[in-house]
Structure 1
Amino acid sequence: MPVRAVRGATQLVTDTRDQMLDRVAEMVTEVMTVNRLEVDDFISVVFTATSDLVAEFPAYAARQLGFGEVPLLCARELEIEGSMPRVVRMLAHVETDLPRADITHVYLHGAAALRTDLTRVRSVPDE
């Protein structure tokens, strides 16, 4: 089965544990839904967070979704002047029969502005 990379990003309104868990779970679940993936399809996931997010590890949200046996890694995003604040990104390697061109990358909330070049970006309004 082919291995593909799937990207995602979401932006938090505030740096709270609950919002980190909710937004990351939403992003991971949406990546799974739109790409017809199950937890067993995931090889590994790397999460990055901007330096202004310290309330919780993004990977903990995935663990709560059943990713206990999937290797997960959290890292800091580069601190580039003018970059979007409070963003969590993910890069997942998955086994899927989907052609690379049919993989849907998910950018939610304010993070939808990060990849306006992608035609299949779903923007969810902030609460």
Structure 2
Amino acid sequence: MIRGIRGATTIKSDSAEEIISRTEALVREMVRVNNLDPSDIASMYISVTDDITAEFPAKALRNIENFTFVPVMCMKEINVPGSLRHCIRVMMNVNTSLSQTEVEHIYQEGAIILRPDLRLTKDDEL
């Protein structure tokens, strides 16, 4: 079964280093908590708000072992007035036996406000 796993984070400034660092941390956490192997990832979409221009966030995946062949596409988010700024969002499409309720979506930094209903992880509930 293919499932979508969502994730989002924010950066404090539009620098290549921060874009790479925050994207890498987000993707690593999405993989860790959902117990994924990169070969299970069918594709990934990474979107950024229009105030992020210093680097392609997909470049962060080069730092993660076995991500060489994961298909990735970057794109811009719709510029909605009042929306969260400096935000990087990830949609990871994975082959998994997890049910929709078992999938853990990851929201970090300022992006936690996007989905407060998904803030708790299984580790937090124990």
TM-score clears 0.5:
yes
1:80 maps to which residue? 80
Deviations 1:58-117 (A, max 9, x none): 111013214221110000000000111100001010011111110000000000011112
1:100 maps to which residue? 100
Q: How many residues align?
A: 120
2:91 maps to which residue? 91
Q: Give the distance between the partners of 2:15 and 2:22, measured in 1 at CA.
A: 11
Q: Runs of at least 4 residues of structure 1 off by over 2 A?
A: none
1:124 maps to which residue? none
2:116 maps to which residue? 116
- Structure 2 segments unaligned to the other structure (5+ residues): 122-126
Identity %: 35
Q: Give the distance between the partners of 1:101 and 1:41, measured in 2 at CA.
A: 18
SS at match of 2:8: strand
2:124 maps to which residue? none
Q: Give the distance between the partners of 1:119 and 1:88, measured in 2 at CA.
A: 17
Cα RMSD for the two superposed structures: 1.1
- Structure 1 segments unaligned to the other structure (5+ residues): 122-127
What TM-score, normalized by structure 2, do the two folds share?
Answer: 0.91
Query: Is the Cα contact below 8 Å between 2:44 and 2:93 reproduced in 1?
Result: yes
1:46 maps to which residue? 45
What TM-score, normalized by structure 1, do the two folds share?
Answer: 0.90
